[in-house]
């Protein structure tokens, strides 16, 4: 299938497909004699997996490495550590956000009590 059809079927833009190809998430597509990229049908599923992993917090480099490992025969057991690392990052970010939430709430309470620190050096 050509790049426009692939983009339509996966819900991404043509530029996103090209970007994924440059970053190694999607293998380089062979070209037709007319110069068009011709993607195999399995690319639709590959982009769906990549988008799901991206949503779970994996970087594009991690996604590309994960997919290459899968292509080389890696199993879920071999790759489980990647999801654990992503979960660790999410939990660390949640702790940071909770600290920020508390700081904002404390500042708001101070403002309510007439001890507003906003705008003061």
Domain ranges of the chain: 1-74, 76-116
Task: Average the pLDDT over each of 41-50, 70-79, 86-95, 112-121 and give the range with the smallest value.
Answer: 112-121
Q: Which helix (H) or strand (E) holds 3?
A: helix 3-10
What 3-state DSSP class applies to 31? strand
Which residue reads 């949640």 in tokens?
Answer: 94
Q: What is the pLDDT of residues 90-112, one digit of tens each?
A: 999 999 999 999 999 999 999 99
Q: pLDDT confidence of 76, banded at 50, 70, 90?
A: confident
Please state, in angstroms and rounded to a whole number, the distance separating the CA atoms of residues 17 and 43: 10
The CATH architecture assigned to 1-74 reads Orthogonal Bundle (1.10)
Q: Which two tokens stand for residue 48?
A: 């769906």
DSSP secondary structure code for residue 56 in this structure: T
């Amino acid at each position: 299938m050509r790049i426009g059809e692939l983009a339509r079927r996966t819900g991404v833009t043509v530029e996103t497909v090209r970007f994924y190809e440059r970053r190694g998430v999607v293998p380089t597509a062979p070209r037709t004699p007319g110069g068009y990229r011709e993607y195999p049908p399995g690319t639709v599923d590959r982009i769906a997996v990549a988008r799901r992993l991206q949503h779970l917090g994996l970087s594009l480099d991690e996604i590309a490495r994960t997919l290459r490992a899968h292509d080389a025969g890696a199993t879920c057991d071999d790759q489980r550590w990647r999801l654990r690392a992503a979960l660790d990052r999410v939990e660390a970010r949640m702790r940071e956000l909770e600290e920020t939430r508390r700081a904002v709430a404390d500042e708001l309470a101070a403002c309510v009590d007439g001890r507003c620190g906003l705008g003061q050096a």
